[in-house]
Amino acid sequence: MSDVEPSALAAALRPTLTRLYLALRRHTPIREYTAAQASALSVLLDHGPMRMGELADRESIRMPTATALIDGLARNGLVERHADPEDRRAVLVGLTDHGVDVLDRVRGQRDSILTEAVAQLSDADRAALDAAAPALERLREQLEIQPARADAPTD
C-alpha cells in the first residue's frame, strides 16, 4: 500500500496537468475552432461516431449546446450526420475525412512540440515520465468513466 494520500497527490497533479494541457494547446492551437469544438472533434476521433446524447454526456454539455457545436463543425466540413443503423430515429455524428486530416495535423504538431520539450529534460526526468505514463493513462481512463457531477457546471 502506498503512503501517498490521494487528496494530496490530486492537489499536486491538478494544476500541473491543467497548465501542461493549456501550454500544449497554446503552442498548437486549432485557430479556426473554439476549444469546445476542438474537444468534440477529439472525442469523435478517439471514440468514433456516436449519438448526440453520448457526445453531450462525454463533453458534459447540454443537448442544445452539443447540437450547436456539431452544426458549426458540419458547416466547416469536419463532421457529418448519418442515420443510426440500430435506430432509424437516431442520428450518429462522425468525423469527415477533412476532420480527421485536421486533427492528425494538429496532433502531429503537438507530438513534435512535446518531443522537443521532453528532449530538453534530464535523463532522470525522462525516465520518471516514462515510468509515470501508464499510471497517467489509467488516471485519464478513470476520469473519463466517472459520471459528470451534478453540481459541476455544464457549459
In a domain, 135, yes or no: yes
In a domain, 155, yes or no: no
> Contact, 41 vs 56, CB < 8 A?
no
User: Residue 150: is its pLDDT beyond 70?
Assistant: no
Angle between the N-to-C axes of helices 63-75 and 52-59, in degrees from 0 to 180, rounded to the nearest 10: 110
In a domain, 39, yes or no: yes
In a domain, 70, yes or no: yes
Of 15, 19, 50, 58, nearest in space to 144 by CA: 58
Instruction: Note the pLDDT tens digit of each residue in 7-44.
Output: 999 999 999 999 998 888 888 777 777 888 888 999 99
Mean pLDDT score of the chain: 89
In a domain, 141, yes or no: yes
pLDDT of residue 148: 62
Of 118, 109, 143, 86, nearest in space to 38 by CA: 109
Domain boundaries, position 38: 6-145
Q: For residue 89, what is the domain's CATH number?
A: 1.10.10.10
The one-letter amino acid code at 72 reads G
Structural domain count of the chain = 1
pLDDT of residue 55: 95
In a domain, 151, yes or no: no
CA distances from 104 to 56, 97, 113, 140 (A): 23, 10, 14, 21
pTM score, whole prediction: 0.75
For residue 151, name the pLDDT band (cuts at 50, 70, 90).
Answer: low
In a domain, 150, yes or no: no
In a domain, 122, yes or no: yes
| Beta strands, E only, 26-78 | 50-51
Instruction: Note the pLDDT tens digit of each residue in 104-116.
Output: 988 899 899 999 9
